[in-house]
């Protein structure tokens, strides 16, 4: 089993009024990487999909994939392509539930947003994941 010390939150960078189901994510990543880069994906209705086994290295945070898990939620852009926290109440609940479980399994893992990694110049996940999950306990 891999040692996980980082849980990186992402958004799919799709519009809040655009459906981007798990099948679209899988197809997009298959074309780009040959496999799905995120370990988990949460759709707007709050459904959580495991899209990559945790023992497999992902492709979501260059330079950090070896020791991290990638969690992505559907959305992240408003109708005008402006980075925005578009998480629905169902996504917020599902993300919190997933993160609690992951912290229980990987208690030393820090939860951060993709934007919080060095040399990342994007707004992803379009909210302050460090502040929101700073005090999260399993």
The 10s digit of each residue's pLDDT in 1-16 is: 789 999 999 999 999 9
Catalytically active residues, by annotation: 10, 38, 114, 122, 124
For the stretch 80-83, contacts whose Cβ atoms lie closer than 8 Å and that sit 24 or more positions apart, written own/partner, are 81/15, 83/13, 83/122, 83/123, 83/124, 83/126
Q: Which domains does the chain have, with CATH numbers?
A: 6-133 (3.40.80.10)
pLDDT (tens digit per residue) in 27-85: 998 888 888 889 999 999 999 999 999 999 999 999 999 999 999 999 999 999 999 99
pLDDT (tens digit per residue) in 43-54: 999 999 999 999
């Amino acid at each position: 089993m891999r040692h996980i010390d980082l849980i990186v939150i992402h958004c799919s960078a799709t519009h809040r009024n655009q459906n981007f189901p798990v099948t679209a994510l899988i197809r997009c990543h298959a074309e780009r990487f040959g496999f799905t880069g995120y370990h988990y994906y949460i759709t707007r209705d709050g459904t959580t999909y495991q899209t990559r086994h945790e023992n497999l290295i992902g492709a979501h945070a260059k330079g950090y994939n070896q020791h991290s898990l990638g969690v992505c939620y559907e959305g992240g852009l408003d109708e005008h392509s402006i980075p925005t926290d578009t998480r629905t109440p169902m996504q917020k609940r599902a993300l919190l539930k997933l993160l609690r479980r992951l912290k229980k399994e990987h208690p030393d893992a820090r939860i951060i947003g993709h934007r919080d990694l060095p040399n990342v110049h994007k707004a992803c996940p379009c909210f302050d994941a460090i502040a929101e999950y700073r005090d999260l306990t399993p």
